[in-house]
Chains A and B, each alone.
Chain A
Amino acid sequence: MTHSNGTLRGAAAPLFEIEDLHVSVEGRTILRGVNLTVRPGEVHALMGRNGSGKSTLANALMGHPKYQITRGSVRLDGEDILALKPDERAKRGLFLAFQNPIAIPGVGTGNFLRAAVKAVRGNETINAVQFRKELTERMQHLQMDPSFATRALNEGFSGGEKKRAEMLQLAMLKPRLAVLDEPDSGLDIDAVRIVSDGINTVHEQQPSMGILLITHYQRILNYVRPDTVHVMANGRIVESGGGELVQQLEAEGYDPILRRLGIEEAEEATTNGR
């Protein structure tokens, strides 16, 4: 059931466990029993076609009110988090990098991050000077212009700027488990490298952080190497494996795998972005 690449990490207690998760949106069932376990330090890639349920999983894990959990459990460090509000999940170390982060007009990115860091890393005492220093370093690393901190959050950001801003938040909030929903979509190869480098740096500094990386493409997985790769179809994980699965998908596409497993994706789901 669980997927480990056989290193020592495999023996550690699970960091994050999704068990038999069923989710519906506006009365329509999207997830039909997802099972996934992430141990400390592991990187899991979740791949699948549009409409397979990847983003639904990401939003449901973070607690979006539109997504209703009809069955199953999600545990972080052994604690079931499904009854918690999104902010309480964040405070326990869950992070979601949004595929399409929304603009908050008039709220400066730097001021927002200060409030978020205070909320999430409340037990550390970070004064304004330390915060600025950390923010500046992280922004430099992501090749972001200093003016970024004073711009309104996600307002008028290009696609690439939005992705980098999400990675900046990842770096500043230091979660225990990061769900990254297509951090590579719409980026050119240089930007993919910068974003990947951002993820890897955070991971190096916090080796016990778990990552669930949702993507369509192999590209980013050349930089952020997954321990385990999962394929999602029709609201379930239908295949799991190592890096060779990525190669196979890249070479053949999803059809052969799905055909072999006898899966026909629902028409409705494939036409829907989520």
Chain B
Amino acid sequence: MAVKAQDLTKDYKYGFSDPEKYAFKSRRGLDHEIVRQISEYKQEPEWMLQFRLRALDIFLKKPMPAWPAANLSEIDFQNIFYYVRPSENGAEKSWEDVPSYIKDTFDKLGIPEAERKFLAGVSAQYESEVVYHSIQEDLEKQGVIFLDMDSGLREYPDLVKEYFGTVIPAADNKFAALNSSVWSGGSFIYVPKNTHVEIPLQAYFRINAENMGQFERTLIIADEGARVHYIEGCTAPVYSSDSLHSAVVELIAKPGAHIRYTTIQNWSNNVYNLVTKRAVAYEDATVEWVDGNLGSKVTMKYPAVYLLGRRARAEILSVAFAGQGQLQDAGGKVIHVAPETTSTITSKSISKDGGRAAYRGLLKVAKGAEHSKAFVRCDALLLDEKSRSDTYPSIEIDEERVDIGHEATVSKVSDEQLFYLQSRGLSETEAKTMIVNGFFEAFTKELPMEYAVELNRLLALQMEGSIG
């Protein structure tokens, strides 16, 4: 492992790390005492402490799932710091107050100036705590709440208590239980009735301490007729042993609401990224997951939508890039419960240099969800012979009057495509990068421009590695 870590430091473009500066750091490992310590440190209400402790019991009892393609037994839960707090001040009010070493980190990441200005409210999860958080005035005027989850719990305890853990209960799966017991940070968003948030709300997440887990918790509530787009993007520095990122994201789209949740995941190649994301959509509501996975050692993530109200709509777009040593096990789940609901799952994966991508999906139409429509499309692109792609589509239909479609393709970059582009002056790498960018275009075009540019740059970096 040590040798591999050195390799990673060389290969991973963002593989730098700042000197550690922390206000508080729990000891390694996980037990009731640590959970109590975290909750006490955050001065949480009693119900949250009890929620955490119950979740811990569930986590300890639940066996590791047997189905994953990854060897999750490599994760040493007792060798992880479950809580690290970077500075005394907690959430910052303005950009000027953000500690300079954190700004340095953004500089190294090359996050463009325009993008920073674009930020409506930034919630940069640096370590386990949100250190910077600001809301533009017009958002405040609109009554939109955009806080880190800890502040949300402090300032809006009743609202949080009403919805927290209702979409993804602690017992849902082992990693949801883990997150529920040790969660820290993440975003809390509430958009009032008929309020449209015109600019995307954005957040950055980073892991920055050896063996440090990242267990953010995000809860977004869009009230009736409300509209919001949330964007999270991650890059992380590299450390000598495996890191664990295990988030829980819950979305609630009330009748007529519209939530889009966009993710660009680029964890360094030693991170286990095991995330539970689920949304509920009521009558005439729409939920869109736009989920891009580039980094990590192992990602297992299947954003889900429960269509609970008539005419509710789900769109899941999941793309993954699996390079050397990576497993991208991604996909989506849609459960049609109400009639006249519609859903589309589009999955696109690229495997390269022995990387492995899998589509894992569930489409379920319950009895009574008549006149529902669902379409699943999976496209896989293999860049070489040693890479791998698998598809595990699960479709359960208990209602007859439905319209269901499923299409899957596996393709290779053809010699003819490469020759054509090379004949126009592009090198083999440039040609492959162009084909890869084109393959992901369905995803890229859904991103704000600066993210699209960043993504294409990341893809180009990934492709450059394949030469020689």
Residues of A within 8 A of B (CB): 62-66, 85-87, 89-91, 95-96, 98, 101-102, 104-107, 112, 115-116, 119-120, 152, 169, 173
Contact = CB atoms under 8 A, between A and B. Distances in A.
A115 B422 contact: no
B415 A115 contact: no
A56 B159 CA distance: 72
A116 B425 contact: yes
Interface in B404-422: 414-417, 419-422
A115 B431 CA distance: 10
The 4 closest A-B pairs by CB, nearest first: A106-B438, A106-B441, A119-B425, A107-B438
A120 B424 CA distance: 7
Nearest to B439: A106
B435 A107 contact: yes
27 contacts: A63-B419, A63-B422, A65-B415, A66-B415, A85-B427, A86-B423, A87-B422, A87-B423, A87-B426, A87-B430, A87-B431, A91-B425, A101-B420, A102-B417, A104-B417, A104-B421, A104-B434, A105-B439, A105-B441, A106-B437, A106-B440, A107-B435, A107-B438, A107-B441, A112-B424, A152-B441, A169-B424
Contact of A102 (B416, B428, B437): B416
A81 B316 CA distance: 49
Contact of B424 (A63, A85, A106, A119): A119
A66 B38 CA distance: 64
B207 to A, nearest CB: 32
A85 B426 CA distance: 10
Contacts of A89: 423
Given A63-B419, A85-B422, A106-B441, 7 more contacts: A62-B423, A86-B419, A87-B425, A90-B423, A104-B421, A115-B426, A120-B424
B442 interface: yes
B377 to A, nearest CB: 13
Given A65-B415, A101-B420, A107 B425 contact: no
Interface residues of B, number: 24
Contacts of A152: 438, 441
A96 B364 CA distance: 51
Contact of B419 (A65, A105, A106, A116): A65
Given A65-B419, A87-B422, A102-B416, A119 B439 contact: no
A96 B417 contact: no
Interface string B427-461: 11011001101111110000000000000000000
A46 B415 CA distance: 26
A185 B69 CA distance: 51
B417 A86 contact: no
Given A102-B420, A112-B434, A90 B439 contact: no
Residue of B415, B420, B427 most packed against chain A (CB within 10 A): B420
